[in-house]
Structure 1
Amino acid sequence: MTPAPARSLRVAVLASGWAGFNDAACRELAARGVELLVVTPTTAPDTNYADLGFGEYAQVHLWHGAPADGEITEVVRAFAPDAVLMHSWHFRPYRAAVKALPAGTLRVCWMDNVWRNVAKQWAGRVVAPWWVQSIFDCVMVPSDRTEFFARRLGFGEDQVIRGSLTADTSMFGSGPRTGEEIAGHRTFLACQRLVHHKGADVLAEAYRRYRAASADPWDLAVAGLGPLASDFAGLEGVHMLGFQQPAELAELMRSVSAFVLPSRIDPYGVALHEAAVSGLPLITTYQVGAAPFFVQDGQNGWTVASGDAGALAASMTHMAALADTTEGVARLGEMSDLSRALGSRTSSAGWARNLHEQIGWRLEELRAQPTR
């Protein structure tokens, strides 16, 4: 008698928003034979993604404003997942859905926030035994900074799945780029939401200072939406591009000289990884969680203090000055090579492989335990 085929692994993703890099990673997960349910709001602030087509590889449930009572719970229960990944561990409709899952379901807290020593986080530590540990089996984090926060919420070393975020490396990845090509574009690129915590106002002031002090300044291309777009009004050399779809942004990154991410607070910053695999020299701040992964100071760019327009302007000056000498142009090529090398440490396919394996291993351990 022929045995019945093994049931595919079923994973539900309860998301706070969906972006191109999420789409690329989950497409790779689906390509490994994993059945997916994606639950997400229809829109996220200051974004304008076209249809990413995730209905091609996943069951999708979109909600707008606020889900109806019990709506998410019913959708997840009907899907009957083996594992659920949940963003926004404070969001009550998602919490209710996770709490209603039967024993033997792996419940993963998918977080990217970093410890900032603020009152809200201290309160979170106090209630974590009931609010976090009571409903999650493990946590998935993008960096050691987020892991530090997760450990303060009570997750043990063995409860951490590392490497939770990645750029769409197949789309943004670039072949080798020469220093001459990079120098010839003479343009900085910023891709970000134009809001306070992303440092849009700092970038505008830094570029104003840089341009005033430079005899032959580079331009600045700004890709993004947000209320601080007005801070760039009237600035000579600035090109406001609005929101760029992933494929458009990937092409844009291949047509500029350096990438700038000036965030005051940025738990990770996937755009920095996108710029690295695109082969761009990088300027960013310490507060960008991805900076330790993709920026080696003095080697492929610089990390400056957040909120410091003067330091950001100085780094832009240092970067642009490299295009003025033969030695500097060669260094831009070396910066590009190192960015690509650092960017290659993770990928969409690698993300999917790791998560697939981690869920399988952890489910096996969970289901071997006595029913709780």
Structure 2
Amino acid sequence: MRIVICWSDISGYMAACFRELASRPDIDLKVIAWASGRRGSQAAFEDRLTAGFSCRLLEPEERDNFTTIRNEVIAYRPDAVLLCGWFVDAYRRLPRDRELTKVRFSMGMDTPWWGTPRQYLAKWKVGSFVRKMHCVIVTGERSWQYAIRLGVDRSRIRRGMYGVDYDLLAETFSTRSADGWPKSFLFAGRYAPEKGLDILLEAYRNYRRRCAESQSNPWSLICCGQGPLASMLSGKEPEGVTDLGFQQPKEMLRRFTESGVLVLPSLFDPWPLILVESCAAGLPVIASDACGSAVEMLRPHHNGWIVASGEPRSLGNALWEASQSNQLPSFGKRSQCFADAYSASKWADRMGDWL
């Protein structure tokens, strides 16, 4: 089967999935994706992530060029095309092209249902487009709820849009355990308001004050990322905080090994993959209730903590509880059980069956 995947930003976790799908003997795969680290990109992944599968990286000036993208797709003569969503106009026009009328189109969807007026209007704006898809592949429960409200028949909704390099990430657990569980928190994500970086820093200051009052040694906080709020970590960084900037996948393996708990205090985050990667690496996680993937990846006091988004006090309490816990290795092993379902191998199995 010849498959074309039309994606947005190329990333380490999806590159592993594409590579696994391309390795299947009954699949001929071509990926069309946005080049990372260019103007307008929210990440800075290296182009060499595409090694191991056929990929056409679109430069910023090409992302909206329907003719260029159309010609790439038609030239490959696909049996099936997977679109990353409806938000890319050039991709959304492909199913209407007369040269592609016999191709099966499917679509991924990670937007959670929040019941906003804009989402109610979406049924009339994009509902007809979504309902024409061969199947709609959602991330989890929250986006399933949205797909239902767009009018997609339940029999055509699949769960499991994303995957991660589980096998590689899982190896970090034994290294971490062998050296003694690290006493540091890890934040990895965009330094942007929606990721709650300011909330995290306030909560961390509260946590350190509590440590001082109880005469206990505070854990450090490692931050990995880039974005408009980077200045909050520049110059004289808050005490106990280290900013490592954007990390490539190989560098993140080391960060996972050196950290004891992942913290993600997002105010809006449809289905953050960093939670899945951290669970695959065997880390307990602290996440806000705004993180869509927490529904699938986190059980309170089983492998981590869920806190109310936008509340530094609640987050600070979770930081304290995590740092005082003697169950973190057990929490980490449980995290891996949740993440295993999202391995690149199982993702490729799903796509081969569904598309």
* TM-score, with length taken from structure 1: 0.87
Unaligned runs of 5+ in 2: none
Q: How does 1:112-131 map to 2 (within 5 A)?
A: 112-131=110-129
Structure 1 residue 117: Cα displacement:
1.8
* Deviation sequence 1:149-184 (CA, Å, 0-9, x none): 111111111111211112211221136559975864
Contact 2:176-2:182 at 8 Å conserved across structures: no
Which residue of 104, 108, 111 corresponds with 1:110? 108
Report the residue type matching 1:47 in the other structure.
A
Q: In structure 2, what is the equivalent of residue 57 of structure 1? A: 53
Which residue of 8, 13, 22 corresponds with 1:16? 8
* Deviation sequence 1:122-143 (CA, Å, 0-9, x none): 2111233434324x22211110
2:275 equivalent to 1:272: yes
Contact 1:176-1:279 at 8 Å conserved across structures: yes
Q: In structure 1, what is the equivalent of residue 220 of structure 2? A: 219
User: What CA distance in whole angstroms lies between the structure 1 residues aligned with 2:77 and 2:93?
Assistant: 15
Q: In structure 1, what is the equivalent of residue 183 of structure 2? A: 186
Report the residue type matching 2:161 in the other structure.
S
Contact 1:171-1:247 at 8 Å conserved across structures: no
| 3-state secondary structure, aligned to 1:56 | coil
Contact 2:66-2:91 at 8 Å conserved across structures: no
CA gap 1:139/1:70 in 2 versus in 1, 3 angstroms = same
Structure 1 residue 64: Cα displacement:
1.5
Q: In structure 2, what is the equivalent of residue 74 of structure 1? A: 71
CA gap 1:321/1:179 in 2 versus in 1, 3 angstroms = farther
Report the residue type matching 2:125 in the other structure.
V
CA gap 1:127/1:176 in 2 versus in 1, 3 angstroms = closer
Q: In structure 1, what is the equivalent of residue 44 of structure 2? A: 48
Report the residue type matching 1:123 in the other structure.
L
Which residue of 224, 232, 248 corresponds with 1:245? 248
Contact 1:137-1:159 at 8 Å conserved across structures: yes
Report the residue type matching 2:95 in the other structure.
V
Contact 2:283-2:331 at 8 Å conserved across structures: yes
Q: In structure 2, what is the equivalent of residue 6 of structure 1? A: none
Contact 1:198-1:262 at 8 Å conserved across structures: yes
User: What CA distance in whole angstroms lies between the structure 2 residues aligned with 1:146 and 1:186?
Assistant: 35
Structure 1 residue 91: Cα displacement:
2.2
Unaligned runs of 5+ in 1: 1-8, 323-327, 360-372
* Deviation sequence 1:244-295 (CA, Å, 0-9, x none): 1111101210111111011111111111111111111110011111112221
| 3-state secondary structure, aligned to 2:244 | strand
| 3-state secondary structure, aligned to 1:260 | strand
Q: In structure 2, what is the equivalent of residue 36 of structure 1? A: 29
CA gap 1:52/1:141 in 2 versus in 1, 3 angstroms = farther
Contact 2:137-2:157 at 8 Å conserved across structures: yes
| 3-state secondary structure, aligned to 1:344 | helix
User: What CA distance in whole angstroms lies between the structure 1 residues aligned with 2:142 and 2:127?
Assistant: 21
User: What CA distance in whole angstroms lies between the structure 1 residues aligned with 2:311 and 2:332?
Assistant: 25
Q: In structure 2, what is the equivalent of residue 26 of structure 1? A: 18
Q: In structure 2, what is the equivalent of residue 173 of structure 1? A: 170
Q: How does 1:227-306 map to 2 (within 5 A)?
A: 227-233=228-234, 234-306=237-309
Structure 1 residue 51: Cα displacement:
2.1
Number of residues of Structure 1 aligned to a counterpart in Structure 2: 343
| 3-state secondary structure, aligned to 2:190 | coil
Contact 1:182-1:333 at 8 Å conserved across structures: no
Which residue of 337, 344, 353 corresponds with 2:349? 353
User: What CA distance in whole angstroms lies between the structure 1 residues aligned with 2:49 and 2:68?
Assistant: 23
Report the residue type matching 2:23 in the other structure.
A
* Deviation sequence 1:324-351 (CA, Å, 0-9, x none): xxxx2xx122112211222223310000
Contact 1:86-1:94 at 8 Å conserved across structures: yes
* TM-score, with length taken from structure 2: 0.91
Contact 2:109-2:136 at 8 Å conserved across structures: yes
Structure 1 residue 56: Cα displacement:
3.5
User: What CA distance in whole angstroms lies between the structure 2 residues aligned with 1:179 and 1:129?
Assistant: 47
CA gap 1:129/1:186 in 2 versus in 1, 3 angstroms = closer
Report the residue type matching 1:252 in the other structure.
R
Q: In structure 1, what is the equivalent of residue 312 of structure 2? A: 309
